[in-house]
Every structure is written in structure tokens, then in C-alpha cells.
Amino acid sequence: MGTDRVVAERYRLGARLGRGGMGTVWAATDELLHRTVAVKELHLADGEQRALREARGLARIRHPNVVLVYDVVEQDGRPWIVMELVDGRSLAEVLREDGPLPPREAARVGAAVAGALLAAHEHGIQHRDVKPANVLLDRTTGRVVLTDFGIARVPGSDTVSETGAFVGSPEYTAPERMDPNQAAGPESDLWSLGALLCAAVEGHSPFRGESVAEIVHAVAFADIRPPEAVGPLLPVVRGLLERDPARRMAAADVRTVLVAYAEAGIEPPTPPTVPAVPKARAGGGERAQRGAGRRRRILAGLAVVVLVAVVAGGTAALVVLRGSDGDRGGQAATAPPATTASPSPAATTPTPTASPLPAGFRTVTDKHGWSVALPDGWVRQEVPPRVYYWSADHAFRFGQRIQPPGKGTAYDVMHGQDVAARGPKPPYQGYRDGVVTRTTQNGADAALWEFTYDGFADGKGARRTFDLCWVQDGRMYDVWLSGPLDRTEETRSLFDTARRTFTP
């Protein structure tokens, strides 16, 4: 259904993308900047406060896997949030239409969500509704985007559930959020991520039930049995679906091991046992009473859960996306090439075998003797000891440096760079979202460093960099590729081709 309404004398509404209990999302055209956007119309009485809270929360987070907010306007007495339009489908739609994901693709999606949550938590923001319907996959680039911060807890703002009512999706809600006497911190988002990973490989949450009562019992009391389909992701899932929030796996660790598996096929290691937090001694009868009391509190709140589950279910329609049911050509959920892997984080994996170059690429042989495949038209620049190749529009840059091996391994070098970039005098302005993982290149131990920074002095915005380092034949090689933050998946694809084809 389309419309010709114009909001705030600027945003011309087009097709309705979704409608739920809290609002409606429209595709729209920004007639001032001539770009497509998504516009969320808030329905509830406190819509203005909600809109400002969601917009302010999103505006604080600068991350490639978090939806961008452009504006908040008022029309017909209602607030509207203007956001980027992600051309794709939600993970829920992908699972429903195409079936479960392979573990490595699920790891790629999970790593992106973990990075988004880490960025949000660093600003004191809890999403509180992480589920497949709120994770978008861009149809063209495969970019993963966490959206719908409508019930997020944002510092300095009243939250949807501050009155004590439970809001969220029970199948993806941490047990501490169901207990009115227990505080729920950012760790509750990580429980939701664990349930999402299970759903990604199985097609549904591990806590699915015929009724809300069954779901609550499964989340809060029943044995947790991750599906066999999680395969190598089992250590991560177990680390996330830990009922004690203090023992739950941290977002930074989740992102690191999932990136290593998604990018290099290195399977997540089994984590060491985390000791339980010491508690005051109590007799068995007292412990049983406390357990029974917790059970009564959760079950007493079940009526509230039943009430709001209907509303929470309606929010699944508030997905910022665009796409047709019949289009499968742009499917984002594509499994990376399989590689042999070891469960140890220090293990190595073979470099992918040679394959034909993508259309539009050619092999460039540099005057220093090495070669690499790059798109046609890239221009060389040498700034000793580095050699660069720029895309014609200067959006992407490939870099290469050869030097004598230093002290320590390639991982030590990259880890040291990451530490320095977080210091008081960082070499990259606005450095953030850095992660270093072990991998291999040409059979040698290697390290992959990914990070975001504010970009060049040209004012064109933040950039994402993929940097690979390894030692071969007595020399240390360092190759990297960077591109605009909003084209991260395109940068990743260019880097993967450069990595696969680089020949010393």
C-alpha cells in the first residue's frame, strides 16, 4: 500500500513496510537530499518520549551493524523517526523463507550483533529485544544491522517498562528479566543473542512452546539443550545461555571467537569453567526456599508476560527493510567456503584454494615483485615503505608493506597495534570496534585486525579496515583494505579477494 503524504514538508511516504502495536514503518523519499529513507510513525500516547529516547540512543552509537537515525520530526501531532532504509530482509524472514543458516554464516551474523551490542553497552544502552525480527540482512552487501531500539534502556531517559511491566519477546528474554526482584543488566542482551544463534541454525528459538507459560518455564527452569545444529558454535551458545548473568560470556569475547570462525574457520574453543560467585552459607532448606520463592515470583509475573507478549509480537512488523517475497537472487544468507578447522584458538587453517577472479578484476603485478587481484582502474601510489592502490572514486584503498620480522608473532604485532590505537595518542582518530583474531596465510601463522576509525581528513566519514599480517620466508607481510563504513561488506569482499590472490 502506497501513499503520497509528505511528512515535515520533506519526506514523501511510499510503501508501508510494516505495522505493529507501537508504530508503522514506511519507505519514503527525502525530497531535500534525494535519497530513500525509512520513516517510523509512533502510535502510542507517549510516542514523542519514545521517539526521542530511541533516536537519542541510536545517535550515540556509531557502529556498522547498528541502524542509522537521521532525524526526528512531528507531523499531525505524532512523532516520526527518520532512519536509513536497509534493502533486505530480517533474519526472521530469511529463516522462514529460506530455512536455517549454516553455522559459519550464523557466526557471521552473531559476530555482527555482538559488535553492535558491545557498542551499545559501552554507551550504557541495553537493547532488550534482540531477536531475528530485529536483525536485518542487506540484500546486496550482506551487511547485518541491529534495529528497533524502541524498548531499549537509555541512560537519562524513562524506559518503556519502568512501571514494572514486562516488555519483550519471551522466547528471547533472559531469565533475570522475568524475575521482578532481580536486576537485569546488559548481560540480558547476551542471553538473547545465544537464543538467536540457536534460532539461526535451527529455525526457531530453543525455548519455543505452545503457550507463554511453557516458554517462561523453559527459559527460567527447564534443562537448556541447544540444538545439534549449532555444531562448532556450541561453546558460545553454552556461554551465552548461562542463567547466572555473572557467568555469561562477554560481548567482546563472543565477537572475537565468532569472527575467527566466520572469517577463518577457527572453531570457538571450549571456555574454562567460570567459578560461581561465593554466596553466604545456607542450609539446603533455605536454598530450596529461595529457589521456590524465585519460581513463585516469576510465575506471579506470568500474567504480565501474557499481556505484553501480544504487543511484543506486534513489534516484529516494525522492521526497516524493503524487498519482495519472490526475489531470491539477492539472498544475503550465503555460507562462506568451508575450511578445515581446529578447536584451538591458536590453530591454523589452510588458505582457500585458487579460484577464478570475480568479474571486473585483474591481477596487478607490482614493480616490487608481488601481485594481487584488484578491480580494473585502481591507481597506484607509493609512500615508502607502503604501497597503495586506490579505487577510481577514492572510496577504497588497498595497502601493502614488507618489513623485517619484529619481536613476537604476527598476532603479537597486531595485538600491540590494537592496544596502541586505544591509548591516549591513537594513530587512528576515533578508533573503535577493533578485534584481532588468529588465522593463517599461505600456511603461516597470521593475524587479522578489523577496526573502524573516523576516516581521512577529506570529510567523507568513518571507514572500516581489514588488516592481515604474517611472516613468510624471513619477511613480515602486512596487507590491508579500507572503505567507507556504510560499505563495510563491500570492503570485506574486496579484502577477501585481495587476501586470496596475494602472491609475495
Using CA atoms, how far residue 499 sits from 4, 51, 107, 260, in Å, is 48, 43, 20, 15
Cα–chain center distance at 417: 23
Q: How far apart are CA 100 and CA 116, in angstroms?
A: 22
List the catalytic residue out of 4, 76, 129, 366. Answer: 129
Burial, 151: exposed, middle or buried (Cβ in 10 Å; 0-12, 13-18, 19+)? buried
- Please list, in sequence order, all residues whose beta carbon lies within 8 angstroms of the beta carbon of residue 92, skipping any fewer than 6 positions away: 131, 132, 133, 135, 316
Q: How far apart are CA 370 and CA 354, in angstroms?
A: 16
CB 381 within 8 A of CB 389: yes
Q: How far apart are CA 267 and CA 265, in angstroms?
A: 6
* Terminal-to-terminal C-alpha distance of the chain: 56
- Please list, in sequence order, all residues whose beta carbon lies within 8 angstroms of the beta carbon of residue 258, skipping any fewer than 6 positions away: 107, 108, 110, 111, 114, 233, 236, 268
129 in catalytic set: yes
Q: How far apart are CA 347 and CA 89, in angstroms?
A: 35
Q: How far apart are CA 446 and CA 378, in angstroms?
A: 26
Nearest to 111 by CA among 402, 412, 435: 435
Active site residues: 129
